[in-house]
Amino acid sequence: MRFNHHENQYLSEVDARANQTAPDAAPSTAAPTTLPTTPAEAGLAVRVEGVAKRFGERPVLAGIDLAIAPGEFVAIVGRSGCGKSTLLRLLAGLDAPSAGAIALDGQPARGLHPDVRIMFQDARLLPWQTVLGNVTLGLPGPRQAAEARARQALAEVGLADRANEWPARLSGGQRQRVALARALVHRPRLLLLDEPLGALDALTRIEMQRLIERLWQEHGFTAVLVTHDVAEAVALADRIVLIEDGQLALDAPVALPRPRERGEAGFATLEGRVLKRLMSVEALNARNQIRGTVAEIRLDPVLSEVRIDTRHGPVVAAISTRSLAEHPLEVGAPVLAVFKSNDVALARLEQGDGERPLTEFFPIPSFIG
Ligand SMILES: Nc1ncnc2c1ncn2[C@@H]1O[C@H](COP(=O)(O)OP(=O)(O)OP(=O)(O)O)[C@@H](O)[C@H]1O
């Protein structure tokens, strides 16, 4: 998980709002203590038009167009580093686009929006505040009314009885529930979720997915979820968008009835389709591909070696023997070797000492083809 000063700025904004709260003021009957439940009034419409984002000379997003209807649940998937979190930070107003425009409910987005909340992979709870204190933080109005709202939000995430607990005493899943309550208590009309379940075990993750789905259905906010887990995207989203080379490469509706079961045929088909697209050769950087011909196959019970001859010299791929059985190759077959740029390292060979020993490794940003 990456932290940057913009996100801290977001948290300071929350702190600043907390400081404006009158802690000892009398309870107000004017402040509503219930969270909205009517979908029509809750969801924020999002429009992203021609949005580009560069960091220095490095383009990350290029010409993104995306319209999200009020109350829609959109999942953003894509390879690591493709710009998913960057897009989410732009929607949150934590960062500004280099080009293009973002509109929320038809109004140009400028900075932080009061109806937008973001949840990260780590809960970011203040350790010196109780669970209730963390959820109340930043709520305007008299303390008693704010606490009543916070307690209600905690009840909604199943933590009513942990209000007076310290964050350190909670499990990772419970801390994320508190973070969810802290977002919900502000009655967001757009909830941005940046891989919020990424650090949780599989079972807790599925429980949290159900909770998020239920709360989304009850409150009707618009939801945008960044996830690495395609099954999570299929379980929760109305639409799955895939970012690739800075652009939207896929926009797939998920027309499956809710609640969705992972074992169902439609679920597995869509998950397979998105995964296939995500893992496809076209999705990889073209510079990290090299053509060749299978020259030799050395079978081993577990991990076999396939040597291919390329115009740059021989390349040996270690392939599980099981995969090789599923996708057989024969000597002479034309193939494409695909490298993940992050996985390529250069090792200097000692002069005159054959293939060993290695002295230094130089990670390189991309394969030199
Ligand atoms: N503030 C920044 N300054 C410079 N580069 C940045 C900044 N934020 C992100 N980047 C770069 O932009 C690219 C996209 O980052 P981003 O975090 O949006 O990717 P991601 O798809 O969310 O990745 P992951 O799935 O690994 O979290 C990366 O190469 C990252 O290093």
Rounded CA separation 154/247 (Å) = 38
pLDDT at 306 over 60: yes
What mean pLDDT comes out for the span 253-273?
Answer: 92
Question: What's the CATH number of domain 46-284, 3.20.20.140, 2.40.110.10, 3.40.50.1370, 3.40.50.300?
Answer: 3.40.50.300
Write down the pLDDT at residue 85. 94
Structure tokens of 327?
């996708």
Q: For residue 12, how far is its CA from the centre of ligand 1 (angstroms)?
A: 22
Rounded CA separation 266/145 (Å) = 46
Do the interacting molecules here have an ipTM over 0.95?
yes
E strand or H helix at 75: strand 73-78
Nearest to 208 by CA among 238, 239, 179, 167: 179
Query: Is any atom of ligand 1 closer than 6 Å to the C-beta of 78?
Result: yes
User: Counting atoms of ligand 1 from 1, which one is nearest the CA of 82?
Assistant: 21
- Which residues have a Cβ under 8 Å from the Cβ of 14 and sit 6 or more positions away? 137, 138
Query: Which CATH number is associated with domain 289-348?
Result: 2.40.50.100
CB atoms within 10 A of CB 146: 27
- Which residues have a Cβ under 8 Å from the Cβ of 25 and sit 6 or more positions away? 141, 142, 143
More confident residue, 36 or 259: 259
More confident residue, 166 or 32: 166
Domain boundaries, the chain: 46-284, 289-348
What mean pLDDT comes out for the span 137-157?
Answer: 94
Nearest to 90 by CA among 30, 49, 127: 49
E strand or H helix at 310: strand 303-310
Query: Is any atom of ligand 1 closer than 6 Å to the C-beta of 57?
Result: no
For atom 26 of ligand 1, which residue has the closest CA? 80
The tens digit of pLDDT for each residue in 312-351 reads 888 888 887 877 887 788 999 888 887 655 556 665 555 5
What mean pLDDT comes out for the span 271-294?
Answer: 76
The tens digit of pLDDT for each residue in 5-42 reads 444 434 433 333 333 333 323 333 333 334 444 444 68
